[in-house]
Structure 1
Amino acid sequence: MKTDLSDLGVVVAVAKAGGFRQAARVTGSSPSRLSDAVRRMESSLGVRLFNRSTRSVVPTEAGAMLLSRLGPAMNEIETALDSLNRFRDKPSGTLKLNVPVSAAKLVLPTIVPAFLAAYPGIRLEIVAESNVVDIIAAGCDAGIRYDERLEQDMIAVPIGPPTQRSATAAAPALLDRLGRPEHPRELLEFPCLTGRFSSGTSYPWEYERGNEKVEIEPKGPLTVSIGSAVELSVHAAIAGLGVIHLFEQWLQPHIDSGALEPILEPWWQRFSGPYLYYPGHRLVPAPLRAFIDFIKAMDG
């Protein structure tokens, strides 16, 4: 039986992505071409590999068995092809990163343009979301997260600022009307703009001054999804709807412009910056190795 290896690669890509449209975005192809490749493979093998519906593409029993055997083999092929990078002056290939929205806004803009200019053969794909995901299952080479959300079996490399602060601010007009708090617990009497994770849990606002630590759960007129909708909260704060608590770096331009006024600054809490993390038990692909070396050189 003659089998087209590129069609086998499509089968794996569609299974990993969970659909033709998703796989098309990852591979840079089109859903129709991927669908045609899967049909050719099914016709060649004489078995159905996927159950398709308008909402999902799920491997059949035969498809799941094939994929369980194909996965390691395709990884070996990718490793063999990647090993050729050492014969090039510059590595090439695709690097896919899963990052929080905050990193996409605050960390990567100072890194990505220079990195891609230095490595024109590398195609960088950024998936920005605030949910903690399994980067291997998501088909990513690496991710960016803060230390409290890192998995224990991952290798972590600092990326971006070594420390950051949470900042609290509000529109000057709001503070003129309600007063300027001197202790974090006073915020319980203020309208606040809060965030919630996709799991439904909200995060407390944490403050620290000397030996005193304070944690509050404020209330207010607006709650947004952490990550994707945070910018809406910033605009609401500027409009005077409530107090906002966010990364200092995110709010700084609006503080500098006078649109927002910092409050409780002596209480702002510092925390360690983000990390680039990746599996330690796998061969590091050349594009990822180049990215790691690049951010280490920037820090140096």
Structure 2
Amino acid sequence: MALDLGNLAAFMAVAQSRGFREAARTSGYSASALSAAVRRLEAQAGVRLFQRTTRSVTLTEAGTQLLERLVPALGEVEAALDVVNGFRESPRGTLRLNVPAVAARLFLSPIVEAFLRAHPDIRLELTVDDTFVDVLAAGCDAGVRYEERLEQDMIAVPIGPRRQRFATAASPAYLAGRARLRHPRDLLGHACIRQRFASGAMPPWEYERKGKTVRVDPSGPLVVTTIAADMAVSAAVAGLGVIFLFEEWLAPAFESGALEPLLEDWWCSFSGPFLYYPSRRYMPAPLRAFVDFLRQFR
């Protein structure tokens, strides 16, 4: 069977974007061109790869299995062709990163700005996503996540702060007339502003002191997804309740006095984030340049 990489690339773009219109927006090809390429591939393969309705486009079982094999295979083809990039004085191409909201909010900006100044021929595409994704299946070269969420077969390079803490805080207005918190379990009697991951998980608040770990699962008037943490901060400043978030995120509110630290001697310290990417023989030149840059940036 003769292969047409263009048809395969069109199939992968539609599958990853979950639709022809979104694939057209991100790939630069028209929806009709992508549709024609997918039809040619289906005719060649002799099976339907997508179930199409007026409202949605979903993979068939055959399409799902093809995508699972195709993503790493085309990634290797792209990386192999990218080898010639290493012979340029300055690498060029597109680097696609999948990062959590906390990375985009707290520490990526100066790294990205310095990297793009050093490599003007590289285009960087950032996707902010708090779920743990297969970076290749998501069409990305690498991702940023914390150590407990890294898969063992990934290469991990430190990025950003090496130690961080979760802080607990509330506004002076909320604390007025209320007893001061002395133990994490006291939070069960307070209104607390919670955050939920896109997966639906809402982890408990964790504290540690003198080797003792305490986890509490408080309730309150507001729950937001982690990507909307700024709304949680605004709610805490407005006096709606107690917040539990990265210390760096709350630092401006601490400095202005809009929020007061609570239970500070119980705050947990944990390892900072990592850039992670799959181990493979050929690394795309833009990613290789970024990894080398991180080693010099620290």
The TM-score with structure 2 as length reference comes to: 0.88
2:271 counterpart of 1:284? no
Q: Letter of the 1:164 partner, please give it.
A: Q
The percentage of counterpart residues that share the same residue type is: 57
Distance 1:172 1:32, change over 3 A: farther
Partner of 1:208: 208
Distance in 1 between the 2:34 and 2:206 partners?
A: 48
Note the 1:101-112 alignment, pairs <5 A: 101-112=101-112
Partner of 1:56: 57
Distance in 2 between the 1:43 and 1:203 partners?
A: 47
CA contact (8 A) 2:196 2:202 kept: yes
Q: Letter of the 2:236 partner, please give it.
A: A
Partner of 2:231: 232
Q: Letter of the 2:283 partner, please give it.
A: V
CA contact (8 A) 2:72 2:136 kept: no
Tell which deviates more after alignment, 199-208 or 214-223: 199-208
Partner of 2:97: 97
Note the 1:44-193 alignment, pairs <5 A: 50-53=50-53, 54-58=55-59, 61=62, 74-193=74-193
Tell which deviates more after alignment, 197-206 or 161-170: 197-206
Question: Cα offset for 1:255?
Answer: 1.3
Distance 1:133 1:45, change over 3 A: closer
Q: Letter of the 1:269 partner, please give it.
A: C
What stretches of structure 1 of length at least 5 have no aligned partner? none
2:228 counterpart of 1:253? no
CA RMSD of aligned residues (A): 2.7
Q: Residue 185 of structure 1 aligns to a residue in which SS?
A: helix
Q: Letter of the 1:236 partner, please give it.
A: A
Partner of 1:242: 241
Distance in 2 between the 1:35 and 1:165 partners?
A: 49
Distance in 2 between the 1:198 and 1:42 partners?
A: 34
CA contact (8 A) 2:174 2:239 kept: yes
Question: Cα offset for 1:205?
Answer: 1.1
Question: Cα offset for 1:213?
Answer: 2.5
CA contact (8 A) 1:48 1:60 kept: no
Question: Cα offset for 1:166?
Answer: 0.6
Distance 1:233 1:64, change over 3 A: closer
Q: Residue 111 of structure 1 aligns to a residue in which SS?
A: helix
Distance 1:73 1:169, change over 3 A: closer
Distance in 2 between the 1:210 and 1:68 partners?
A: 47
Tell me how many residue pairs correspond in the alignment. Answer: 297
Distance 1:71 1:232, change over 3 A: closer
Question: Cα offset for 1:155?
Answer: 0.8
CA contact (8 A) 1:3 1:44 kept: no
Distance in 1 between the 2:67 and 2:186 partners?
A: 57
CA contact (8 A) 2:51 2:58 kept: yes
Distance in 1 between the 2:248 and 2:293 partners?
A: 23
Q: Residue 176 of structure 2 aligns to a residue in which SS?
A: helix
Distance in 2 between the 1:250 and 1:119 partners?
A: 29
What is the CA deviation profile of residues 2-22 of structure 1, one whole-angstrom value per residue up to 9, with x for unaligned ones?
986534432332234332233
Q: Residue 131 of structure 1 aligns to a residue in which SS?
A: coil
CA contact (8 A) 2:80 2:282 kept: no
Q: Letter of the 1:113 partner, please give it.
A: E
Distance 1:120 1:33, change over 3 A: farther
Distance in 2 between the 1:83 and 1:70 partners?
A: 20
Distance in 1 between the 2:48 and 2:211 partners?
A: 65
Partner of 1:266: 265
Q: Residue 97 of structure 2 aligns to a residue in which SS?
A: strand
What stretches of structure 2 of length at least 5 have no aligned partner? none
Distance in 1 between the 2:266 and 2:79 partners?
A: 50
Q: Letter of the 1:102 partner, please give it.
A: V
Tell which deviates more after alignment, 257-266 or 42-51: 42-51
